[in-house]
């Protein structure tokens, strides 16, 4: 919901964007912070009640702690840890406690567990800021600027994931061209809504069949069709979400990072990931891949294949607390490793039309085959592939 509700546009986006553009530079970050807080309270309350809304306190606490971060300080480590601890409790507590007790009764189960609105994406930005402050890669800014960065509601719930050093100059700049920003931003929002309603939601009629009961009844053709439908649906859905977020930000005169660049037409899995959920890929590269690749224990250092698979496993786990998400991450990690080995054997890729076309199709098919792992639990996935391959 959220982006496809009138409340979002009439109560939050339009008033705040107009107020923001008409205000002084000093007031602008506060306008974002106040509207961002109200946005959070409204939608978190409507999704998870009072407890959900109260989670704003956690994010404000993390924001205040951020004022203590200085290059190479221990406060930065505290910042890194507190973000992960809150994410761990809310998102993974029941999952890991369940694994711990496996098939026995789980005394640690949190019955009233809920996921605070946008916690996964908040964590990315908190973590990025603490890390970059630790290595002196960004200036601290003021509290108001930091709150504006964290509580900028167009990107709060599901990205695109911003970087502070990229956001700050845009926040400080005078928003100039109303006409261009509102025309482009408005078009982007309308395109996103049209994609969501006319493509993603329509395909739900097919993709909703990806459950154990329907899979048992379906023929092979239907299974293949549902999977292809899911590949288009997830792309239309998430790119629509990103379109609306980017378009909404543009109404403020702020450009946020792009998230998609025609990922399904890419020649290999590495290029696919460079064009799919781009802000996440860049985040994982900077804060998981590079640090893991630089690990040294005595003379031991991790092999590049281990680094790739570890990064994709973390990506899988981030997508959800379920074994099937981890399996999906592993699958993509192995695809990336296979591609690296393949390129090592064959050298530079051929530029002839037939191999280029074939590699584009193969990449798309590999990604689409993996959606079964993404969208169904492990038991259903096994059933799905058994029905698909054996009958």
Partner 1 sequence: MLQFFEEFKAIFEYASGVTDDPPPRGQSWMRSPLWWGIWWAILILLIVAFSGQSSKFIYIDF
Applying CB under 8 A, which residues contact partner 1?
A: 1-4, 115, 120, 157-159, 180, 183-191, 193-194, 196-198, 200-202, 204, 234, 237-238, 240-241, 243, 247, 250, 258, 262, 265, 318-320
Q: How many residues does the structure list for the chain? A: 391
Min dist. Cβ of residue 228 to partner 1 (A):
17
Compare residues 223 and 240 and give the one whose CB is closer to partner 1: 240
Min dist. Cβ of residue 139 to partner 1 (A):
28
Compare residues 21 and 134 and give the one whose CB is closer to partner 1: 21
Min dist. Cβ of residue 320 to partner 1 (A):
6
Rounded to an integer, what distance in angstroms lies between the CA atom of residue 281 and that of residue 299?
29
Min dist. Cβ of residue 6 to partner 1 (A):
11
Q: Tell me the Ramachandran region of residue 162: left when phi exceeds 0, alpha when psi lies from -120 to 50, beta otherwise.
A: beta
Compare residues 307 and 326 and give the one whose CB is closer to partner 1: 326
Min dist. Cβ of residue 177 to partner 1 (A):
10
Chain centroid to Cα 295, Å, comes to 25
Judge residue 4's burial from the number of C-beta atoms within 10 Å of its C-beta, 0-12 exposed, 13-18 middle, 19 or more buried: middle
Compare residues 134 and 162 and give the one whose CB is closer to partner 1: 162
4 upstream amide cis, omega within 30 of 0: no
DSSP string, 187-228: HHHHHHHHHIIIIIHHHHHHHTT-SHHHHHH--HHHHHHHHH
Q: Tell me the Ramachandran region of residue 89: left when phi exceeds 0, alpha when psi lies from -120 to 50, beta otherwise.
A: alpha
Compare residues 3 and 287 and give the one whose CB is closer to partner 1: 3
Min dist. Cβ of residue 69 to partner 1 (A):
26
Compare residues 22 and 265 and give the one whose CB is closer to partner 1: 265
22 φ, ψ (degrees, to nearest 5):
-95, 0
CB 257 within 8 A of CB 348: no
């Amino acid at each position: 919901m959220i982006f496809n509700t009138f409340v979002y546009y009439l109560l939050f986006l339009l008033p705040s964007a107009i107020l923001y553009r008409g205000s002084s530079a000093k007031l602008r970050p506060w306008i974002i912070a106040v509207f961002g807080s109200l946005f959070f309270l409204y939608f978190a309350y409507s999704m998870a009640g009072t407890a959900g809304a109260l989670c704003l306190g956690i994010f404000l606490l993390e924001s205040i702690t951020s004022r203590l971060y200085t290059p190479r300080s221990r406060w930065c480590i505290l910042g890194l840890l507190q973000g992960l601890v809150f994410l761990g409790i809310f998102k993974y507590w029941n999952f890991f406690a369940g694994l711990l007790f496996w098939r026995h009764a789980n005394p640690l189960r949190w019955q009233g567990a809920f996921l605070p609105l946008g916690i996964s994406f908040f964590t990315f930005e908190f973590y990025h800021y603490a890390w970059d402050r630790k290595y002196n890669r960004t200036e601290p800014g003021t509290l108001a600027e930091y709150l504006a960065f964290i509580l900028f509601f167009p990107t709060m719930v599901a990205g695109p994931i911003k970087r502070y050093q990229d956001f700050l100059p845009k926040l400080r700049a005078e928003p100039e061209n109303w006409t261009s920003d509102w025309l482009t931003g408005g078009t982007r929002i309308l395109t996103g809504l049209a994609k969501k309603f006319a493509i993603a939601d329509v395909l739900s009629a097919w993709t909703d069949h990806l459950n154990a009961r329907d899979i048992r009844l379906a023929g092979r053709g239907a299974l293949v069709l549902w999977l292809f439908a899911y590949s288009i649906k997830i792309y239309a859905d998430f790119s629509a979400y990103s379109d609306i977020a980017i378009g909404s930000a543009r109404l403020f005169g702020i450009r946020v990072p792009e998230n998609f660049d025609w990922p399904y037409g890419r020649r290999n899995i590495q290029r696919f990931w460079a064009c799919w959920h781009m802000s996440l890929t860049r985040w994982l590269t900077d804060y998981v891949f590079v640090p893991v690749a630089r690990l040294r224990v005595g003379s031991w250092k991790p092999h590049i294949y281990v680094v790739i698979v570890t990064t994709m496993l973390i990506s899988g786990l981030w997508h959800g607390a379920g074994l099937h998400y981890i399996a999906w991450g592993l699958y993509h990690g192995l695809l990336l490793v296979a591609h690296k080995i393949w390129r090592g054997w064959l050298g530079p890729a051929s530029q002839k039309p037939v191999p280029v076309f074939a590699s584009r199709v193969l990449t798309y098919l590999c990604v689409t085959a993996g959606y079964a792992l993404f969208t169904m639990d492990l038991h259903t996935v096994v059933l799905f592939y058994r029905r698909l391959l054996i009958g």
